[in-house]
Amino acid sequence: MTNFEVRTMEPRDVPACVAIVNHIIALGGSTAYEDPFTNAGFEAHYLQEPPVTNVVLDKGRVVGFQAAFDAGDGLYSIGSFTDQQHPAPGAGRAIFAKTLADCRARGGTAILAKITSDNTGGLAYYTKMGFADDHVIKDDVTRKDGTTVDRIVKRHPL
């Protein structure tokens, strides 16, 4: 069993996080993002925008990150990414425990996960973390090739 370190994201984590998310984007089918991030673009979106952004480290190496964006009315919208090149089993569970606690500490009422319907891994992960199906947004994401996919919205009460 690996002992993960989970902490708030810092500027020094940005290059590792960009490498993780850009690899996932390149693989396709498990994120709504289709264009790779630059370090500056990632920092603006993930480090400066959300009130909760955490990283999970395995032996000092960033193996995942999670952000909870303020969606208003006590709701947070979560995004989760873990290293698909060198997976660290259990990293997603470890990081979610801190994100959940952080959102509760901020007085939130629920966390929403909006997962594209073709992201079977993401759907399974959020279900495993205790999220329940809330609603479906039909044809919410249009891929570069013109195909559209639904977005499944899952909810986790705080």
Helices (H), 1-158: 14-27, 39-42, 91-105, 120-128
Q: What is the pLDDT of residue 19?
A: 97
Q: In this structure, what token pair is assigned to residue 131? A: 């999220």
68 or 32: which leads in pLDDT: 68
Q: What is the pLDDT of residues 24-53, one digit of tens each?
A: 999 876 777 889 999 999 999 999 999 999
Q: What is the pLDDT of residue 2?
A: 67
Q: Give the Cα separation of 12 and 43 in Å (integer).
A: 10
Instruction: Give how far the C-alpha of residue 1 lies from the chain's centroid of Cα atoms, to the nearest Å.
Output: 23
Query: In Å, what is the CA distance from 37 to each residue of 25, 53, 82, 112?
Result: 9, 17, 15, 23
Instruction: Map tokens 């990414």 to a residue.
Output: 81
Q: In this structure, what token pair is assigned to residue 29? A: 């089918």
Q: Can you tell me the mean pLDDT for 126-154? A: 91
Q: In this structure, what token pair is assigned to residue 152? A: 């499944």
CATH architecture of 5-157: 3-Layer(aba) Sandwich (3.40)
- Global pTM reads 0.91
Q: Give the Cα separation of 122 and 5 in Å (integer).
A: 22
